[in-house]
Structure 1
Amino acid sequence: MSDHTHVRPWRHIERRKSRQIRVGSVLVGGDAPISVQSMTNTPTTDAAATIDQIRQLEEAGADIVRVSCPDVESTQAFRTIAREAKVPLVADIHFHYKRGIEAAEAGAACLRINPGNIGSADRVRDVIQAAKDNGCSMRIGVNAGSLEKELLEKYGEPCPDAMVESALNHARILQDHDFHEFKISVKASDPFLTVAAYQQLAEAIDCPLHLGVTEAGPLRTGTIKSAIGMGNMLWSGIGDTIRVSLAADPVEEIKVGFDILKSLGLRHRGVNIIACPSCARQGFNVIETVTLLEEKLAHISTPMSLSVIGCVVNGPGEALYTDIGFTGGGKGAGMIYLNGKIAHKQANDGMIDHIVDLVEQKAAELDAARAAELEAAE
């Protein structure tokens, strides 16, 4: 958010009140920031490749990363992976209770599991005890595509009632064993079904909710579907941690996740670029410029705003509310704005590098000011 603007009442989202749990070093729920997650797609048994992908996700800003542990070889590799990761790892466990115990002992911060799929009451108890002994939380992950047979027979098809009943049944198993460090997801590939299930679940239980539209699709269409589904829920205050499920590089999931939160004013990371779609009035190639700026500013994690507008119709107005702005004019030059005020004229030639320099300088100033505030508070 720009440092010279203020939060307007009509932009305020009141988040649902949920109890707070801990996923390693990350707090989830309560008043904690909404965390952004992704999942590795490398073979977990290839520890080096998985660690490398986790590094990429960490650099993109991931708060939590999930790693699949389908077999004993994977949980063996997980110990090495967890030791190298800087962010908490969630071990994805589906059916075999021993994998849950092994992952908890190997350093998992959270187990993604459905208690009802583990088997006997003794096995459930053993996994819960392993989680307690090793400081693990759990995520109950309900998916419309894998609902219990009895619920499908009862309701006839995947529906919000069936998904919520499944989630609450699983939650009850954990609660009966005095385990309360859990979050729940009720995902479907249909955004309408997803939203309806989460809305119903949000009223039925106070645990943190992990949001996602599962199997959303490829980068463009999956992003749109996720933004519609999760944006709807986040706008109404539902959601404590999110994962955008894309058939794309997992790093893109982190980028899209932060963009969704940024667009709703729920969390800010990196440069928020405001740009016009361009038209015949443009004084420079807006699309090419914005594409290059997005690439060159990807390393900036400091929250700030940048407007890049092709002409003077809306440019000056947009620049009033951004940290840095460039408005195209005529004769191969435009105006640079800093903190909403005209700073100087800038030729189109060299404009991109100049804007990058300004952004980097601004980031350094904001980081230094934030560090001074933290030092003074201590």
Structure 2
Amino acid sequence: MVREHTKVITVGNRKIGGGNPILIQSMTNTKTEDVKSTVEQIHLLESAGCDIIRCAVPTMEAANALKEIKKEITIPLVADIHFDYRLAIKAMENGADKIRINPGNIGSKERILQVVQCAKERNIPIRVGVNSGSLEKQLVEKYGSVTAEGLVESALNKVKLIEDMGYDNLVISIKSSNVLMCIKAHQLIAKQTDYPLHVGITEAGTLYSGNVKSSVGLGAILSQGIGDTIRVSLTGAPIEEIKTAKLILRTLGLRTGGIEVVSCPTCGRTRIDLIELANKVEAMVQDIDLDIKVAVMGCVVNGPGEAKEADIGIAGGIGEGLLIKKGEVVKKVPEEKLLDVLREELIHWNKN
């Protein structure tokens, strides 16, 4: 479920909003000035399922590097700008498909106007970003603290500022590390604007805490039909953000494709190293492009029954295991060959 009444915004060769599929974003953590490393990471992220990539542009050298980076990639490139309006202008001149700014830290109205005029000349979307960590002092005082209402008011004020300059090719982002605040803010703003929304839980944390917070927050927001692009913010390798984002969308039924791995919890009946096996299966299927469910079960007692809803599965026993298709045991193999047999079945899946 997505908000179909939102404006459609074109970002490079992709469209967001208006009921279009929710797109996954990530951000490079290389030095943008290092073109080779940045391009390599973008290619890796694209192959993992990244739809739109964002690069930090803290220096003029980074802004100039975008020109060379753009020549080597196919997915849309967003330039992340803070403080210096000249970097935003240079990034657009060098081919950025979209820019991310917080008008509050760009400076005077005149400087913001120069950025808007440059974007308007090139029809480049502007993502207006507001973060709970940088909410304006007057709004903190108005609401008594940092609140969802304050975030929404801040974002809409900045949108109006740009609209008054004659530009409405905009995407809105309101982020907080407070999950409940983030959910409430998105519920509020979705009722007050038809601009596409980029959704994420900012500063979510490490792989463990960040995945939990992002899954809870994004799940709650997206399940209400709110959100047009997403980013899972993790203190970790960017490719992990893509994996989690894909799984969140798939779990909510908002995206298909890719193998879903389900596995049972361990119990006293387990006679194999189920944890290691499940992790190996999950890693193994990353490069197999099938839209199916694979089950990894720890025992032969309940394995076939529990795997019934999966397309294919394996269940371990004492020194041996079962290959299961749609709940039916089709083969018994030595434990050490379980993984290889499963992979062989998946590789030849469409031929079966």
TM, length-normalised to structure 2: 0.93
Residue among 352, 363, 370 paired with 2:339? 352
**Counterpart-to-counterpart distance in 1, 2:123 and 2:312:** 45
Quick check: 2:321–2:338 contact (8 Å CA) kept in 1?
no
Secondary structure of the structure 2 residue equivalent to 1:214: coil
Distance 1:310 1:41, change over 3 A: same
Task: String of CA shifts for 1:276-303, please: whole Å, max 9, x gaps.
Answer: 1122212532211111112222212432
Quick check: 2:300–2:322 contact (8 Å CA) kept in 1?
no
Distance 1:296 1:129, change over 3 A: same
Moved more, 41-50 or 119-128: 119-128
Task: String of CA shifts for 1:249-308, please: whole Å, max 9, x gaps.
Answer: 111111111121122221134211010112221253221111111222221243221011
**Counterpart-to-counterpart distance in 2, 1:333 and 1:123:** 69
Cα distance, 1:312 vs structure 2: 4.1
Cα distance, 1:340 vs structure 2: 5.0
TM, length-normalised to structure 1: 0.87
Distance 1:314 1:22, change over 3 A: farther
Residue among 200, 212, 233 paired with 1:245? 233
Residue among 165, 170, 173 paired with 2:161? 173
What is aligned with 1:154? 142
Task: String of CA shifts for 1:286-345, please: whole Å, max 9, x gaps.
Answer: 2111111122222124322101112245422333222211233x5533332335544333
Moved more, 344-353 or 225-234: 344-353
Distance 1:169 1:80, change over 3 A: same
**Counterpart-to-counterpart distance in 1, 2:20 and 2:306:** 31
Distance 1:282 1:183, change over 3 A: same
Cα distance, 1:184 vs structure 2: 1.0
**Counterpart-to-counterpart distance in 2, 1:318 and 1:173:** 56
Q: 1:337 aligned to 2:324?
A: yes
Q: 1:119 aligned to 2:107?
A: yes
Tell me which amino acid in the other structure corresponds to 2:221.
Answer: M
Quick check: 2:57–2:80 contact (8 Å CA) kept in 1?
yes
Residue among 205, 212, 218 paired with 1:224? 212
**Counterpart-to-counterpart distance in 2, 1:340 and 1:178:** 61
Residue among 8, 21, 38 paired with 1:33? 21
Moved more, 130-139 or 51-60: 130-139
Moved more, 330-339 or 133-142: 330-339
> 5+ residue gaps in structure 2?
none
What value does the CA root-mean-square deviation take over the aligned residues? Answer: 1.9
Quick check: 1:40–1:65 contact (8 Å CA) kept in 2?
yes
Secondary structure of the structure 2 residue equivalent to 1:298: helix
Matches within 5 A, 1:282-321: 282-321=270-309
| Percent identical residues | 44
Moved more, 165-174 or 318-327: 318-327
Tell me which amino acid in the other structure corresponds to 2:298.
Answer: G
Tell me which amino acid in the other structure corresponds to 2:339.
Answer: I
Matches within 5 A, 1:1-378: 14-17=1-4, 18-328=6-316, 330=317, 332-339=319-326, 341-362=328-349
**Counterpart-to-counterpart distance in 2, 1:218 and 1:86:** 29
Cα distance, 1:109 vs structure 2: 1.0
Quick check: 1:258–1:269 contact (8 Å CA) kept in 2?
no
Secondary structure of the structure 2 residue equivalent to 1:297: helix
Secondary structure of the structure 1 residue equivalent to 2:172: strand
Quick check: 2:211–2:234 contact (8 Å CA) kept in 1?
yes
Quick check: 1:282–1:311 contact (8 Å CA) kept in 2?
yes
What is aligned with 1:3? none
Provide runs of 4+ in structure 1 moved above 6 Å. none
Work out the number of aligned pairs and report it: 351
Secondary structure of the structure 1 residue equivalent to 2:286: coil
What is aligned with 1:372? none
**Counterpart-to-counterpart distance in 2, 1:355 and 1:181:** 48
